[in-house]
Structure 1
């Protein structure tokens, strides 16, 4: 059976990777650069309280039950002036507001991996800070670390085809964090860190022209792509506590 068990730092993809890391009781770092992870970092930095939730369940009902607002789709929310999955829509006006945020990738993976020693949100924006905190938590708990690039989902997959579409922005975001983690890295994690190191000088260009970057730009979200491509913009690391993301203290 496939395993990276001899190592302290691992790389696993998507929902399956998040579930298996959670079942092993590992520290999990969710990486969904465009845009869930970057949006969580921006929202928490602005003082908002975010609850991740899978889109196949009734998020509106859940939001009502916890006294939170349900974040709508980008277009509908933008028309109403609400924050969205777009990180640039969060600001100080949203301080102390409670929101339920769903997404096919990052929110779903976070929900799957809720019961772990620590679940962190990593991105380009906070890569170094995420690695520093993960190293600290590893020393305190003795748990190994699994970084989970979430990838995207094929919209037109045929029957019996895998829905996961690996994405370079999540792979490079995971590599940015893995490159600064201590402990022995699995070959998968080592290669991922190497991909980041060899691409670091061209990150913005690569993400801008990636499939995911082009998709967002064609939908009018060029600012999202620019924002999410910034490396180590902040030292804030969201951590999941009691179903919500807070700033680790």
Structure 2
């Protein structure tokens, strides 16, 4: 067992830390880890499961993703966006299901999607590899996810990991903390309420302070404006529809299914 570090926020039932390093610190000491990637991975998972589909998160976007999808008999989604130094543009060549939530609203029930993303899917796979229970949380399912996490953890510890975005014009593509993830994480920690670390409590306070301005704030955030500039602004209101879903995406044997 790895040594306890100050970064694990020991002594608190609900803990919060960002991105890959957050998973690295929290997955080994938390009974449940909730990954939050509001724009867009965990929102897409929620919508897909709401349509009766299942989602296999993949940490790769190369030939390994194609091989994994083929072996599982899954439909491999593409990004739906083209990355540029200044942001994104819509990829007109992509047809059918993609990583974008708006492409999944008419998804055929029973579909198994293999969904690769450098943020949400990668963090989910890393948390699962560490042996913890993994849930995909977003604004749409925040309250349902919080209730399920509390039930699954019992007297144990819950970690909340906002994925964050990436700086596209940096060669290293370092973490860019983003308000949509922070508000999504805050909606979940606000619903958990008890035993919050200062990091988790501050996110909850930010979410409560935002109130009914959450959709407006996300639409006008860097991430929201980035998607609008790419011509895919329809994804933003879908992702900002707070507590519109009762879906609890639970990772079971490498596939997200709804915890009924």
TM-score, structure 2 normalization? 0.89
1:47–1:92 Cα contact (<8 Å) kept:
no
Q: Deviations over 1:24-76 (max 9, x none)?
A: 24310010001101000000110111100113552011111111121123059
1:135–1:182 Cα contact (<8 Å) kept:
no
Q: Does 1:151 align with 2:156?
A: no
Gaps of 5+ in 1: none
Counterpart in the other structure of 2:16? 11
Q: Does 1:217 align with 2:228?
A: yes
In 1, Cα distance between equivalents of 2:121 and 2:142: 19
In 2, Cα distance between equivalents of 1:20 and 1:56: 25
Counterpart in the other structure of 1:70? 76
Q: Deviations over 1:67-117 (max 9, x none)?
A: 112112305986453111111211454211112101111011011011444
In 2, Cα distance between equivalents of 1:63 and 1:79: 20
Q: Does 1:163 align with 2:167?
A: no
Q: Does 1:175 align with 2:186?
A: yes
Q: Deviations over 1:141-192 (max 9, x none)?
A: x320010000001122256xx7000000000110000001153111111111
> Cα RMSD over matched residues?
1.8
Of Structure 1 and Structure 2, which has the larger fraction of its residues in helix?
Answer: 1
Which of 35, 39, 55 lines up with 1:34 in the alignment?
A: 39
Q: Does 1:236 align with 2:247?
A: yes
Counterpart in the other structure of 1:21? 26
Which of 31, 48, 54 lines up with 2:53 in the alignment?
A: 48
TM-score, structure 1 normalization? 0.92
Q: Does 1:97 align with 2:111?
A: yes
Number of residue pairs matched by the alignment? 245
2:57–2:122 Cα contact (<8 Å) kept:
yes
1:77–1:84 Cα contact (<8 Å) kept:
no
Which of 137, 141, 154 lines up with 1:122 in the alignment?
A: 137
Of 88-97 and 165-174, the range deviating more from structure 2: 88-97
In 1, Cα distance between equivalents of 2:250 and 2:138: 13
1:117–1:143 Cα contact (<8 Å) kept:
no
2:55–2:256 Cα contact (<8 Å) kept:
yes
Distance 1:93 1:190, change over 3 A: closer
The residue matched to 2:256 in structure 1 has which SS?
Answer: strand
